[in-house]
Structure 1
Amino acid sequence: MTRNRATAVGFIAVLLWALLAVLTVGTAPTPPLLLNALCFTIGGLLGIAWCWPNGGLNALRNVSWRVYLFGSLGLFGYHLLYFSALRLAPAAEAGLIAYLWPLLIVLFSGLLPGEKLRAGHLLGAVLGFAGAATIITGGGAQFDTAALPGYGLALLCALTWSGYSVLARRMGTAPTSTVAVFCLLTAAASWVLHFTLEASQWPIGLGGWGATLALGLGPVGLAFYVWDIGVKQGDIQMLGTSSYAAPLLSTVILVIAGIAAPSWTLAIAACLITCGALLAARASSSA
C-alpha cells in the first residue's frame, strides 16, 4: 500500500469518529464501563471476521505481549475517559476538548526521529487551547463548575489518544490484526470492572441498542483498523492535521441532531480548534 493511500484509509477513521459523540449520547444512561464492554466486544468480533479470511490471525502468535498491553490500555483508557466525560459534561463542549487530539498528534510527532516542530505547529496549538479555554470558561459569560470534571476527562482523552497514536508509530511492525486482540482484551477488562464497580443499566429500546451497535461497528470498531493502517503506513503528521474536520463535523452533527444548542461560544471554540489544526496542517505541508 502506498503512503498516500494509507493516509486516505486512515482518514476514514476521522469521519467515523465524527459520529462518536452523537452515538454516545444515544446510549444514555448506560454507564461508561458497560458501554466500553459492549462496544469493544462488537469491535473485536468485527476485527476477527475481517482478519480471518486472509489468514491475518496467524501472525498474532509472534506479537510481543508488550504490544498487546500497550494497545489494550490505549483503547480502554481513551474510551473510558471519553464516555465518562460525555456523561459529566455537555456533549458538544466535552467533545470539542477531546478533539484536541489531532493538534496534539502534530506536536507529539515532532518528538519522533526525522520530524521537527515549526512555528506554525506551535501557533496552531495556542489557537486550539484557546478554543478549549473558551469552552471551559463559557466565553466569559459563565463558569459552569459542575461540568469541570467532564472537561478535565475530555482533556485527558485528547492526551491519551494523541500519545497512543504517536507511540503506535514506534510499533509499526505489529500487524493490524492485533487491533482485534486489543478490542477483545479491552472488552474483557471492561466486563470485569463493570460487574465489580457499576450498576447495570442497559441501553434503552431500539434507539439505545441501535446506537450501541453503531458505535461498536463504526467509531469503536472499523475506525481502529483503518486508523492503525494510516498511522503506521501513512503520513502521520498529515493524517493528524487533516483530522481538523473531526471537531467541526462532530459539533455540526450534534447541533443538527438537536443535542447541542447553537451558540456563539460553541461556534467560536469550534473555529479556534479547527483553525489551529488547519494552521498546523499548513506548517506540515510546507515542510
Structure 2
Amino acid sequence: MSRNLATLIGFSAILQWSSIVGLLKKISASIGADLAVTLMYSFSACILLLLFGIPKLKQIPKSYLIFAAVLFVIYELCFSYAIALSQTPQQAIEVSLVNYLWPSLTIVMLIIFKEIKFNGFVVAGLAISLLGIVLTQTGNHSMSWATLSDNIQTNPTSYLLAFLGASLWSLYCVMTKKYSQGHNPIALFFVAITLVLWTKLFFTHDFTAIPHFDLSTCLYILLVSCVTALGYAAWNVGIIQGNITILVTLSYFSPIFSTLISMLILQTRLSSEFWQGAILVTIGSFICWISTNWQAIKVKLYGFFKIS
C-alpha cells in the first residue's frame, strides 16, 4: 500500500468519527438514549473483534490495562450519553464541540505529568478554545455569563458529561502514551463498555415497552456502528503506513468536520456565530499543538528562510 493511500485511509477515520454525533442523535431520537448507545457499542465491539481479534492480555501491562479500560469506558459513556441526551439537533452539535476541548486539555495533562514543558501558547490556545465554546453557547445574544449559564441550564447533564468526557479522554491519551508499551487493546475496551451497558439496560430498562425499529433506524444503527469501529481500523492504517504529521494536523480540524457533517445529517441550520465558535475551538487546539512542537517548527522555519 502506498503512503498516500494509507494517509487517505487515515483521513477517512477522521470523517467517520465526525459523523458519529449526527448518526447517534438520529438513533436516540427514535429509540431512546439507553438502547441507542447500547446497540451502537455492541455492534462496534463485534466489528472490532472481527478486525483485531482478542488481544494477548499477557503482553499488556496489567496496571495500564485496568486503568485505561476504566478511563475508556467512562469516557465513552460520557460522550455517547452527552449526545444521546441532548434535547435538540443543534444542542447535540453544541455538546460535541465541548467534547472537542480534549486536544487542548491533552496538552495541559502532558504538562501536569511533566511530559512536556510549560509554554505560554498552551494558555492562549486553551483560552481561545474556551472562547469558541462560549460563542457557540451565546450565539447572536450578548456574550455574558448570564446568557452562557441560561443556555447550559437547559440541559446541564449533557454539557457536564461532555466536559467530563473531554477531560477523561485527555488523561487516557497521556496514560496510553506513557504506559501502553505500544499495545492497542481497543477491541477489549469495547467489549467492556458493551457489558457495562447491557448490565445497566437489564436493571433499568422496561423491556415490555420496546420501541419500533423501522428500516431507517436499523440502517442508522448499522452505519454508526461501522463508522465507530472502522474509524479505529482506518486510523491504525494511517498512523502506521501513512504520513502521521499530515493526519495529526488534519485531526485538529475535527470540530469543523464534525459540525459540518452533523449539520447535514440532522438537517440543522447553524448561525454564523456558531461557525465562528467552532473555528475558534479548532484554532485553539491547533495553537496548543504548535506549543508542543515549537522548537521543531522554529528550526524548520529558520532552515526555510535561510535557503530562501
TM over 0.5, yes or no?
Answer: yes
Aligned partner of residue 27 in structure 1, secondary structure: helix
Look up the match of 1:251: 259
Look up the match of 2:304: none
Could you tell me which runs of 5 or more consecutive residues in structure 2 were left unpaired when the two chains were aligned. Answer: 296-308
Please give the alpha-carbon distance, in whole angstroms, between the structure 1 residues aligned to 2:126 and 2:7: 22
Please give the alpha-carbon distance, in whole angstroms, between the structure 2 residues aligned to 1:32 and 1:12: 27
Note the C-alpha offset of 1:224: 3.8
Please give the alpha-carbon distance, in whole angstroms, between the structure 1 residues aligned to 2:247 and 2:116: 14
Residues 203-223 of structure 1 deviation map (CA, whole Å, 9 limit, x = unaligned): 73222222222222222x133
Note the C-alpha offset of 1:250: 0.9
Decide which moves more: 58-67 or 73-82: 58-67
Q: 1:135-174 to 2 correspondence within 5 Å?
A: 135-138=136-139, 140-141=141-142, 142=147, 143-144=150-151, 145-173=153-181
Please give the alpha-carbon distance, in whole angstroms, between the structure 1 residues aligned to 2:106 and 2:195: 28
Residues 117-153 of structure 1 deviation map (CA, whole Å, 9 limit, x = unaligned): 3222221110001111223344544533213332222
Aligned partner of residue 155 in structure 2, secondary structure: helix
Counterpart of 2:189 in structure 1: which amino acid? F
Q: 1:168-183 to 2 correspondence within 5 Å?
A: 168-173=176-181, 175-176=183-184, 178-183=185-190
Note the C-alpha offset of 1:262: 1.7
Look up the match of 1:266: 274
Q: Structure 2 residue aligned with 1:208, among 209, 214, 217?
A: 217
Larger Rg: 2
Q: Report the identity percentage.
A: 22
Do 1:103 and 1:240's aligned partners in 2 also have CA atoms closer than 8 Å?
Answer: no
Q: 1:80-159 to 2 correspondence within 5 Å?
A: 80-86=77-83, 87-89=85-87, 90-112=91-113, 114-138=115-139, 140-141=141-142, 142=147, 143-144=150-151, 145-159=153-167
TM-score by length of 1: 0.81
Please give the alpha-carbon distance, in whole angstroms, between the structure 2 residues aligned to 1:8 and 1:167: 28
Q: Structure 2 residue aligned with 1:193, among 187, 196, 200?
A: 200
Q: Check 1:51–1:83 CA distance in 2 against 1; reply closer, same or farther (3 A cut).
A: closer
Do 2:22 and 2:266's aligned partners in 1 also have CA atoms closer than 8 Å?
Answer: no
Note the C-alpha offset of 1:166: 1.6
Note the C-alpha offset of 1:256: 2.6
Do 2:9 and 2:234's aligned partners in 1 also have CA atoms closer than 8 Å?
Answer: yes
Note the C-alpha offset of 1:268: 2.1
Note the C-alpha offset of 1:18: 0.8
Please give the alpha-carbon distance, in whole angstroms, between the structure 1 residues aligned to 2:33 and 2:92: 14
Note the C-alpha offset of 1:246: 0.9
Do 1:18 and 1:250's aligned partners in 2 also have CA atoms closer than 8 Å?
Answer: yes
Please give the alpha-carbon distance, in whole angstroms, between the structure 1 residues aligned to 2:282 and 2:288: 10
Note the C-alpha offset of 1:273: 0.5
Could you tell me which runs of 5 or more consecutive residues in structure 1 were left unpaired when the two chains were aligned. Answer: none
Do 1:92 and 1:260's aligned partners in 2 also have CA atoms closer than 8 Å?
Answer: no
